[in-house]
Amino acid sequence: MYRPDHLTLNLSGQLLSLERAVVMGIINVTPDSFYSTSRIAGEQELRTRIDTLLREGASIADLGAYSSRPGAEEVSAQEEMRRLAPALRILRDEYPALPVSVDTFRADVARWAVQEYGVAMINDISGGALDPQMYPTIAELQVPYILMHMRGTPQTMGEQTDYQDLILDLIDYFIQRVGQLTELGVHDIVLDPGFGFSKTLEQNYELLARMSDLGTVLPQPLLVGISRKSMIYRLLGQTPEEALNGTSILHGFALERGAKILRVHDVAPAVEAIRLYEAMHPYERRDEALYYTQTNTGDH
C-alpha cells in the first residue's frame, strides 16, 4: 500500500505538514457551480462559510470564481477578478491565519491574487495548458502549485477521453510537466489526477482503483477532488445534494491509495474520514511487516 514520504508545503511562510492527510475546503463565488448549495452570494454568507471551514478543521481554503463544470460558460479574466476580490479581501483582512488557494488557470489572475492579497497557492485545472505564462509566473511568485490533469477545456473535455492506458498516460503527463516546472525553479508541486475532467464515469473509477500506481512513480503529494461529483451521483441515480455519503466512502478509498489532500465541499465528514483511516495505520503497518517477514522466510 503506497504512502508517500513526509512532505511539507510552504504556504506564505507557514509550513503545512502532509505527514497525515489534510482537508481543503471549497469556497465558490460562482453563480453556476454544479453543486448549488456551495454557491456563495454576499459577504455575510462568505464569512459564515469561512467560519464553518475553520470550525470543522480545514487546513486550506480553495477559492474559485470560474465554474469548471462540463459545458460551463466562458468567464473573462476581469470578471473572474471582480468575483474574487471581495472574498480575497475578507480572507486577507479577517482570516489571515487561513492559507488560501485560488482556483484559476490564468497567469494574470494568479499574479494579481498572490501580489495583491497574499494568496498562498494556485490551483490550475489546466495544468498550464490554457495559459503559457502560468509556469513562469508560478516560478517567479514561488508559491505552491496544484497541477491537475485535464485535456482540452471545461467546454470540450467531455470529448477527450480516449487513452491507450489511463494511468500510464497520466504518469507521462505529470512527469513532463513536473520536469518543466522543476527546471523553472518551482519547488512545491501537488498533483491532482483530475477526477471528472476528460474522463468517463468508468475511467474515474479505474483511476481511483489504480491511483496508488501514480505514487510508485511520482513523489509529489496527491490531491483528490471527488466531492459530490457526477461519478458518484450519476452512478447512484442521485443529485449532487444527495451525494455526501458516496463522497465519504470514496474518500476512504482515496486515502488508502495515497491521497494527501482532500478537496471538499463538506469539511467535517472529510476530517472524520481521515481520523478513522489514520486509526488503522498502526495495525496495517504491523500486518504488512508480518507479511513481508513471512514471505522472505518462506513461512507461508
Q: Residues in the chain, how many?
A: 300
Is 263 an annotated catalytic residue? yes
**Three-class secondary structure of residue 193 per DSSP:** coil
Q: Choose, from 263, 275, 285, 286, the residue flagged as catalytic.
A: 263
Q: Choose, from 106, 229, 257, 260, the residue flagged as catalytic.
A: 229
Q: Compute and round to an integer the Cα radius of gyration of the chain.
A: 19
219 to each of 81, 172, 188, 225, 258, how far by Cα in Å? 33, 14, 11, 19, 11
Is 199 an annotated catalytic residue? no
Backbone angles phi, psi at 57, to 5 degrees: 105, 25
Q: Report d(CA 280, CA 193) in Å as an integer.
A: 25
203 to each of 207, 211, 243, how far by Cα in Å? 6, 11, 19
Q: Report d(CA 189, CA 9) in Å as an integer.
A: 9
Backbone angles phi, psi at 218, to 5 degrees: -110, 120
Catalytic residue positions, numbered: 229, 263
